[in-house]
A and B are shown apart, each in its own frame.
Chain A
């Protein structure tokens, strides 16, 4: 296997190994929990802000929405208000569908060449895996709030109850535990096995997948195999959010593995493709209204163009123009 697959895998395994060792040595535990988390969050917060500010510093000189439906035109022509918005409301709807339901990915299809014919057929796998992964991740993240917030907010309780409603196993397994495992595995298999995707994949594409897979597996192990003292974890989490960190005794090493992987993901976030989370909101082909003939949009760095004026043109071709009977400014 290529370095671009093995290297990120090795890095993730190294993190696991280091965290296992660090988490087993009690005087190192504060380093592998409290310090790591503070540092990771600081990097995430400032890194994310810096990136977004850096993007925002570059202006949007031209309005270039990708128009995905009929434009606003004559009054009797049906206008695609969301796919080709010309109002702020329409843009907000378009962004809602893009961000929350992955509208563009839903359009996806595959094209195959079969006995001289290009066959275009809808395919929803990527959309399904992506949507499943992102929502599972979101719900799991929200569920984790119960460790940090006191009293536990009602919606977290509700979400927890819904997510765990099937009551399978002891402790009951959450639906999202299953879906995230399936989706991340699916996305990884896709990357490894589909020749086109494999061809374009970089180490930076495998790394977050291995990390997240590691996070999910360590989380499941903690819940079902190497049970961790949840009261102790809660005490640790409370200490961290109240800025009076204490590391209670007796938290299993697997917890530190889980935490180290999460912290790596968080700290890596601002420097990686994961920034698509922020970028999707700022993409000029999606977040602009198609109003370029209806309203003037200013380009902040516009310079007046140097062009061949009519006077120069007439001077150049006066004789021809005269002969052809074309009107002239000067005879």
Chain B
């Protein structure tokens, strides 16, 4: 019974892992990955790791949801209307895949895996808790505090009252020396942005990444001519807008 469940779950995990690379939509790829992880969580349940198994389902669902959202939101194709080639950089990825497969296989085959079945009814959850807050506490807490600091940093950077002032007023980092030009990268004006519909082939991922970086700099660059106002064709942001409509009268 357990064996059947194990093989079924393993097969599902491998099949959905393979589907990740064969489907033509980011959403399907993401959730195929989720199914793969959930199958692994099922295997963890079979190994009487009930907390880890169920928590994996929980974490993966949230994680993949966030991932899907960010990918779709920031990259392209909001409505998923157009099909996409999900695979690129063939040679590199094939190479990396083979190396990873050999490495992991060697690791699995070369390790002397423990074989001591747990007695039925053993409270593994309690063991896990004692382990996390006992022997492994330093690792656990270090990881926890690091993650928390990262989260706070991300929120601080992305919030409206960012590190260098209100982002809506064109926040600028201070100069490297007193009175100097603002630090940070510069962007050449014109070209690039705006509606990019229609033309075929974006030269794969590299080209796209480039583009993204250039654009994201614009936020930092804003206001180097007249700080305090967004400029060129970007209309005023909503808040400004509601209180002091921009039209002259």
The yes or no verdict on A and B being binding partners is no
**Which residues of B are at the interface with A, using a C-beta cutoff of 8 A?**
none
